[in-house]
Amino acid sequence: MIKAKHQRLVLVGVALVALMAAALLAVWALRHQASYFYVPSDIVAHPPQSDQGVRLGGMVVRGSMHNAPDGVTVRFAVSDGKAQVPVRFAGIRPALFVEGSGVVAEGHWVAGTFVADNLLAKHDEKYVPREMKDMGAARKAVAQAQ
């Protein structure tokens, strides 16, 4: 018969092996789901393969945004301060997507242009939703009146 102390050690060992196996299984299952993040200078230096889904992050260059006649497609450039990458996106743009703002575009590289499937607009820490801008001014007025 196994002593209680040894039985606990065996149980702890089995639990550790099970945890390690679960972690390895999760990493193995997600290995093809990783979406790499590039900045424009990385893409210019080492363009990804056209079948590889990647993320491109940077600032939308002012004056680079051009709408296509179809009303859905937009072309713009993304920069990291060192290089610029042309981007094409067809779809509904986020409300925060404007020139001079940060953006993360998910898509793939095709013949010198990043074709985005999804745009994620970034905002700064001072962001306040449009609906709440008036509330902030009203709150300041009430605080000053007291």
pLDDT digits (tens, 9 = 90+) for 1-34: 678 788 888 999 999 999 999 999 988 887 766 6
What whole-number distance in Å separates Cα of residue 42 and Cα of residue 21? 35
pTM of the entire predicted model: 0.62
Label residue 138 by pLDDT band (50, 70, 90): very low
Question: Residue range 72-89: average pLDDT?
Answer: 92
Between 119 and 5, residue with greater pLDDT: 119
pLDDT tens for residues 84-100? 999 999 988 888 888 88
Lowest mean pLDDT among 67-81, 90-104, 126-140: 126-140
Which sequence spans correspond to the domains of the chain?
A: 36-122
Q: What is the pLDDT at residue 85?
A: 93
- Percent of the chain, pLDDT > 70? 79
Query: Which CATH superfamily groups domain 36-122?
Result: Nucleic acid-binding proteins (2.40.50.140)
Task: Pick the closest to residue 91 from 77, 74, 76, 108 (CA basis).
Answer: 74
Question: How far is Cα of residue 97 from the mean position of the Cα atoms in its chain?
Answer: 13
